[in-house]
Structure 1
């Protein structure tokens, strides 16, 4: 998924401060002038962020109507990222990060409630509940689309807590409330300090409810097995993030299992060490998102000579839960014949009011596939994967989709923190096709529909695992023959 990824605003603000990036090495005097202008307090338009900048320190805050919570603080000299920055005037700042432009307005001073909390306040279960509820109340985009009465949810779940509730009890209440929203970009990760206690609680919870017990599936093995039904001699990149090979001389099969994990790092030959190595290199990178995009370009360039000889390409996104929009767009560019406007995105401010829409374009790669494109989708095709599918509506209008509707979660995750330090995330952005359609909670439909189970990914995968032939792939092969 897109998230829960590194705080996008933290990265944005780090980038904001990098006035001597490769793209901004003007004269020393101009750099100094911009640096002086940036100092002060800035509030984001939407997103609920405040940033206070001095020559020495950068402080980031999560803010809503009842709380202003310090999120991160770090030395200014540590801000060594690059950016695209446009200072519209003394009080308005635009920062471009990835495909998104964020607006900031200057404040005269820090808000009054941005003062340190006592330990009692930080750990008060009711205050933590209220802080989370208020953030959703101010920033969540999809109450209507998901048929959620947020005030009723507050009444239902706050009554389960008191000022004496334990951290585990608070976590379970917040977990259960957010689960009701049925939004894959909404959630609260398990805090480390209660992990052991929660595991024991979860075990007893599962044992007491047989419906929660699931057939065990090794998803990594399953993906290889499913792909191997049609391509016996296949190749793999980064231990399965992408598998490829020929079904026959006319049809290339690409199974893309994530939109993150593409960076071309030296991971060695030991699969058990690969994940740790990848995380290490990503942590050390100056720009990990660019590493991901460059890695996607590397592997697509590697595949392309073989791909170019075929008449049709199947891209299987059915087990792809997302990652980074930029990776999705980079891969799609190898199938895009001309520069195209593909979608827009905006953030919720309040009822009927949104940030200025970012309109996103895609340009063709240097090498573009000219054959027929088939895209396989399922309820597990989510987040950045849906950005691939959404963009394909305009970028590759002749592509044929086979499978079911995608999951229907498009927004970047807005990462936030509770007073007690726990992190959580929500959807605050609206993505729309160039025809003005918002597919949130609906998903993008297929041309040839297959009834995959939308309620349980396990049931969907289990059924697929038990089938000797893959209905979606068989449908594509039938369509290829007809053409």
Structure 2
């Protein structure tokens, strides 16, 4: 501590490094030598380092992890200062090429040109249909997904549905399973997770999360899920769970690779850091942290003219084929 009783820059750096050393779950998965990084970045801090310099050094340290669940947030001043370990979402290819607004304009235009009605919006759910295919856009895995009930009521008679989660950054595991349950044919294991036991290199016993039918009826016809490298966190767990269903396939880009829980920790100087203290696995006990989930049909999310290439491919797939199996992760 310094002379006025406040935490020094050295204290804060040590505290942040220690919280990760005791709780972060992904060092081995991501190939990180945390002790070596301490030696590198600790030398950049001294008793006279100001908060701005400290924040910059801590951000550089955390960026070594390349984990979109790792954030450092300073709300102590008049403006919020924030950094993300891999600059999510700016690091995602889909938003490097298009703004969210422009991307959705292209998607909406592609739907319209392929015979879909204007989109209807119910909180985080937007949906439409053509003569035979339904389209549902889910922007977040949250309690506001109750609009899915109305969407499925109107899309129930379609022969297949496209679920678009390309710009879905995640949300809550409980809600993703409520959503996924509307498409489940029977109870199945959706994924497993383990928690790192604080202060040790051990993990808790793997806990199974179950996918099971939810709602007044379930949609069990062919489903194609559209993904990108923006698809992250609970949205990725949604993909893992849904791929256990034999009539589901995925198309688009590899997902973000941030499948853990995001745990917030308040540091002694008032900053908040978030870290990943879990490891998630598919039902086959395969881990995708730091790698992402590769779709069944890998196709870059790009535009030809004013046309969304991945969406057109999904429409064509549903029009021409019966989807009866899925390559489970």
TM-score computed with the length of structure 2 as normaliser: 0.85
Q: How does 1:135-150 map to 2 (within 5 A)?
A: 135-150=19-34
Aligned 8 A contact 2:262 2:275 in 1? yes
Deviations 1:78-114, CA, capped at 9 Å, x for gaps? xxxxxxxxxxxxxxxxxxxxxxxxxxxxxxxxxxxxx
Q: How does 1:210-359 map to 2 (within 5 A)?
A: 218-220=99-101, 222-231=103-112, 232-238=117-123, 241-246=124-129, 248-260=130-142, 292=143, 295-296=144-145, 298-349=146-197, 353-359=202-208
Residue 299 of structure 1, CA deviation? 1.1
Residue 325 of structure 1, CA deviation? 1.4
Residue 481 of structure 1, CA deviation? 2.8
Q: Distance in 2 between matches of 1:163 and 1:376?
A: 50
Residue 480 of structure 1, CA deviation? 1.9
Residue 315 of structure 1, CA deviation? 0.3
Aligned 8 A contact 1:179 1:187 in 2? no
Matched residue SS, 2:318: helix
Residue 144 of structure 1, CA deviation? 1.9
Cα distance, 1:195–1:216 mapped onto 2, change above 3 Å: farther
Aligned 8 A contact 2:25 2:278 in 1? yes
Q: Distance in 2 between matches of 1:218 and 1:469?
A: 15
Q: 1:276 is matched with which residue?
A: none
Cα distance, 1:376–1:252 mapped onto 2, change above 3 Å: same
Matched residue SS, 1:344: strand
Cα distance, 1:229–1:441 mapped onto 2, change above 3 Å: same
Gaps of 5+ in 1: 1-116, 200-213, 261-291, 453-462
Deviations 1:276-312, CA, capped at 9 Å, x for gaps? xxxxxxxxxxxxxxxx1xx42x312211222111001
Residue 121 of structure 1, CA deviation? 5.1
Correspondence for 2:257 among 396, 404, 408: 408
Q: Which has the larger radius of gyration?
A: 1
Q: Distance in 1 between matches of 2:98 and 2:241?
A: 32
Matched residue SS, 2:29: coil
Deviations 1:438-468, CA, capped at 9 Å, x for gaps? 111111111110145xxxxxxxxxx54x742
Matched residue SS, 1:334: helix
Residue 194 of structure 1, CA deviation? 6.2
Deviations 1:414-433, CA, capped at 9 Å, x for gaps? 11111112110111101111
Aligned 8 A contact 1:121 1:127 in 2? no
Q: How does 1:152-231 map to 2 (within 5 A)?
A: 152-193=36-77, 195=79, 218-220=99-101, 222-231=103-112
Higher RCO (Cα < 8 Å, 6 or more apart): 2
Q: How does 1:454-465 map to 2 (within 5 A)?
A: 463-464=302-303
Q: Distance in 2 between matches of 1:315 and 1:216?
A: 22
Residue 397 of structure 1, CA deviation? 2.9
Cα distance, 1:126–1:194 mapped onto 2, change above 3 Å: farther
Cα distance, 1:175–1:149 mapped onto 2, change above 3 Å: same
Q: Distance in 1 between matches of 2:141 and 2:160?
A: 22
Q: Distance in 2 between matches of 1:223 and 1:174?
A: 35
Cα distance, 1:166–1:413 mapped onto 2, change above 3 Å: same
Q: Distance in 2 between matches of 1:467 and 1:140?
A: 44
Aligned 8 A contact 1:346 1:356 in 2? yes
Give the length in aligned residue pairs.
303
- Tell me which stretches of 4 or more aligned residues in structure 1 moved more than 6 Å: none
**Bigger mean CA deviation after superposition, 443-452 or 373-382:** 443-452
Please provide the CA RMSD for this pair.
2.3
Gaps of 5+ in 2: 83-94, 322-329
Q: 1:379 is matched with which residue?
A: 229
Residue 358 of structure 1, CA deviation? 2.0
Cα distance, 1:321–1:373 mapped onto 2, change above 3 Å: same
Structure number with the higher helix fraction is: 1
Correspondence for 1:433 among 258, 282, 285: 282
Q: Distance in 2 between matches of 1:429 and 1:415?
A: 13
Matched residue SS, 1:319: coil
